[in-house]
């Protein structure tokens, strides 16, 4: 179809906009917006319609729509003040108001074909379907819609994951949704579906995550209770699913990236592959993660998550003394974190890494605001809860620490940071004077996969203060064998406890186990 208005010609068939025969540069999504508005110029087009037609129903912000509309106005020499071509009707949507001449009309009046828009990036995307109801009456059908609707709202806070809008996802209400159809119609990489079973007021809800490309099951879980527990179960399911996806999708994406040729990896594949290396907490893997994140940032300088991950690797370098210049690593940890928050202030990972940059600088309390912001942005962000608890420990607030770290472990019982969460519990109990629990949790932490040498020193401290000198000596030797040069000074450089009495108690315990002062 071709349309003329002002001195412009819009050719939707060839995706061209010309002015006096010269092509006008207009990025694909803005072109799609213009085409849709012109085709429906007889009425007001709502924002939801634009999202459905142009963004395939994905969850996007009002700012993204405004940006596309501004690009359209620039291309047609319109402004938000004049609105000679695109008029904004507050609370209703947009309408194309310039006189239009149809140059080539269709033989039969049909709805315009959807405009195909290339994918913006390699970010994983997910469709959350309405759950199926088994047993019970239609009185319980609301549960089958309410849980996925809450999941869509919560998942939309994850900046690394594209979420399709409820209106698009809830079209797939058939008994067994076809994954190939969901992939073809929405372009979703993943599909989250579920079943609600109600029998004699007993309630069971099953959730399943599938890869629409391979049609493989990535993860599933089952939750049970009674109808009296339904509201509590809804909250529990949403929290656990969001946290599970934070772990399982990046792992799945990294495994897929390993099968691709290195030169074919996009920025998101590089990012997810880097995460796997980063969470192994050793010098070689952290260096590999640095290389992958640097490549991701080079491919996409505005990739906020990659900057946050790069801050994480710099933190790890400084925290565990991997490089000969820890001061440079400390500066990099702050620099990359600040850049991440500048690019995307609503990404909880960026706020988390900025808080930890303050920790490296010996001022953990200065980062509290960033941790609170990370959890406010994404209440199910387990790392934010953990880091908040550890900051409380270093300030001697044991009750707050136990509450925050308890939430973190409940949200993510298989988290890569589980050893650190358990170590936080150990120190909180130590502050409370419960040395038995402190020793038990210190032991758990030191034996958890991923635990570094400093966690071994925490176990040594907890056992020594509890009076189990044999176990304390074992963990002190173990830590020293893993990191020659382990010392009391290095311990406090990593963990800047503010309470003088607590510092003295820890220092004395480490020295009794044979750890040198400096």
**Maximum CA pair distance of the chain?**
91
Those residues whose C-beta lies under 8 Å from the C-beta of residue 11, and which sit 6 or more positions away, are 1, 2, 17, 18
CA 195 to chain centre: 25
* The pLDDT value given to residue 64: 78
The pLDDT of residue 45 is: 86
**Distance of alpha carbon 156 from alpha carbon 238, whole angstroms:** 12
Strand ranges, E, within 70-216: 86-89, 93-96, 101-104, 125-128, 132-134, 162-163, 190-199, 202-211
Query: What are the residues facing 448 on neighbouring strands?
Result: none
**Class of CATH domain 125-258:** alpha beta
Taking a C-beta distance cutoff of 8 angstroms, is the pair 357, 334 a contact?
Answer: yes
433 φψ region: left (φ > 0), alpha (ψ -120 to 50), beta (else): left
Contacts of 462 (CB under 8 A, 6+ apart): 426, 427, 430, 435, 438, 439, 441, 442, 443
Instruction: Print burial letters for 360-382: b (CB count within 10 Å at least 16), e (below 16).
Output: bbeebeebbebbebbbebbbbbb
Q: Rounded to whole angstroms, how far apart are CA atoms 476 and 461?
A: 9
CA atoms within 13 Å, Cβ hemisphere of 407? 19
Angle between helices 28-39 and 47-54 (to 10 degrees): 120
3-class secondary structure, 19:
strand
Give the Cα separation of 75 and 460 in Å (integer): 67
> How far out from the chain centre does Cα 469 lie?
43
Residue with tokens 């930890």: 356
**DSSP character at residue 340:** H
Quote the Cα angle for 158-419-356, to 5°.
55
Please work out, in degrees rounded to the nearest 5, the angle formed at the alpha carbon of residue 316 by the alpha carbons of 310 and 320.
160
Provide the residue-wise pLDDT of the chain in tens; the chain has 518 residues. Answer: 788 888 888 887 777 888 887 888 888 788 888 988 988 888 888 887 888 777 766 666 777 788 888 888 998 888 888 888 898 888 788 898 888 888 754 433 344 444 444 344 578 999 999 998 887 656 677 788 889 989 998 888 888 899 988 888 888 876 566 888 888 888 899 999 999 998 888 889 999 999 998 889 999 999 998 888 888 888 889 999 998 998 899 999 998 888 787 778 889 999 999 999 999 889 999 999 999 999 999 999 999 999 999 999 999 999 999 999 999 999 999 999 999 999 999 999 999 999 999 999 989 999 999 999 999 998 989 999 999 999 999 899 999 999 999 999 998 888 889 999 999 999 999 999 999 999 999 999 999 988 999 999 999 999 999 999 999 999 999 999 999 999 999 999 999 888 899 999 999 999 999 999 98
Write the Ramachandran bin of 485: left for phi over 0, alpha for psi from -120 to 50, otherwise beta.
left
- CA 128, CA 215: separation in Å to the nearest integer? 15
Exposed, middle or buried, 84 (CB in 10 Å: 0-12/13-18/19+)?
A: middle
pLDDT of amino acid 116: 42
pTM above 0.75, yes or no: no
Question: How many Cβ atoms are within 10 Å of 185's Cβ, its own excluded?
Answer: 15
> What is the Cα–Cα distance from 77 to 423, expressed in whole angstroms?
61
Strand pairing category for 101-104 and 2-5: antiparallel
Under a CB-based contact definition with an 8 Å cutoff, are residues 167 and 52 in contact? yes
Element (H, E) at 223: strand 217-226
Domain boundaries 389-518, corresponding CATH code: 1.25.40.10
Give CA–CA dist 21/85, Å, rounded.
20
Residue 260 to residues 250, 253, 269, 275: CA-CA distances in angstroms? Answer: 16, 11, 9, 17
Residue from 274, 273, 276, 342 nearest 310 by CA: 274
Where are the domain boundaries for CATH 3.40.50.10610 in the chain?
125-258
Strand partners, 61: none
CATH 1.25.40.10 in the chain is located at 389-518
The architecture CATH gives domain 2-104:
Orthogonal Bundle (1.10)
């Amino acid at each position: 179809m071709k349309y003329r208005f002002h001195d412009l010609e819009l050719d939707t068939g060839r995706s061209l906009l010309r002015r006096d025969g010269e092509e006008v540069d207009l990025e694909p999504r803005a072109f799609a917006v213009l085409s849709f508005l012109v085709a429906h110029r007889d009425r007001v087009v709502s924002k939801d319609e634009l999202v459905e037609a142009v963004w395939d129903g994905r969850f996007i912000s009002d700012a993204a729509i405004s940006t596309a509309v501004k690009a359209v106005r620039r291309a047609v020499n319109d402004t938000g003040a004049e609105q000679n071509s695109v008029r904004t009707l507050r609370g209703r949507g947009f309408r194309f108001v310039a006189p239009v001449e149809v140059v080539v009309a269709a033989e039969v009046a049909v709805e315009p074909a959807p405009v195909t828009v290339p994918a913006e990036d390699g970010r994983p995307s997910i469709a959350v379907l309405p759950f199926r109801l088994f047993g019970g009456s239609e009185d319980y059908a609301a549960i089958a819609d309410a849980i996925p609707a809450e999941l869509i709202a919560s998942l939309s806070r994850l900046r690394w994951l594209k979420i399709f809008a409820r209106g698009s996802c809830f079209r797939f209400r058939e008994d067994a949704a076809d994954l190939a159809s969901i992939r073809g119609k929405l372009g979703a990489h993943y599909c989250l579906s579920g079943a609600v079973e109600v029998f004699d007021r007993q309630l069971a809800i099953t959730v399943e995550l599938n890869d629409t490309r391979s049609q493989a099951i990535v993860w599933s879980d089952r939750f049970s209770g009674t109808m009296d527990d339904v509201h509590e179960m809804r909250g529990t399911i949403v929290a656990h699913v969001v946290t599970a996806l934070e772990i399982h999708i990046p792992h799945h994406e990294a495994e897929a990236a390993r099968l691709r040729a290195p030169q074919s990896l996009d920025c998101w594949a590089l990012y997810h592959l880097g995460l796997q290396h980063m969470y192994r907490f050793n010098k070689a893997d952290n260096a590999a993660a640095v290389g992958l994140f640097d490549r991701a940032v080079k491919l996409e300088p505005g990739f906020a998550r990659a900057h946050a991950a790069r801050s994480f690797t710099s933190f790890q370098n400084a925290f565990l003394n991997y490089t000969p210049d820890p001061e440079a690593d400390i500066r990099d940890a702050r620099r990359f974190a600040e850049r991440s928050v500048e690019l995307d202030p609503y990404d909880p990972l960026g706020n988390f890494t900025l808080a930890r940059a303050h920790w490296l600088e010996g001022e953990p309390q200065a980062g509290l605001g960033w941790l609170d912001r990370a959890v406010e942005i994404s209440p199910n962000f387990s790392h934010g809860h953990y880091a908040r608890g550890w900051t409380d420990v270093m300030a001697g607030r044991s009750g707050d620490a136990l509450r925050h770290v308890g939430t973190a472990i409940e949200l993510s019982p298989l988290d890569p940071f589980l050893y650190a969460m358990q170590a936080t519990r150990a120190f909180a109990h130590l502050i409370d004077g419960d040395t038995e629990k402190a020793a038990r949790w210190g032991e758990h932490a030191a034996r958890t996969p991923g635990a570094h040498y400093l966690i071994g020193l925490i176990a040594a401290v907890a056992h020594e203060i509890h009076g189990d000198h044999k176990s304390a000596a074992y963990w002190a030797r173990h830590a020293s064998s893993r990191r020659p040069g382990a010392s009391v000074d290095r311990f406090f450089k990593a963990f800047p406890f503010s309470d003088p009495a607590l510092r003295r108690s820890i220092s004395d315990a480490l020295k009794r186990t044979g750890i040198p002062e400096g």
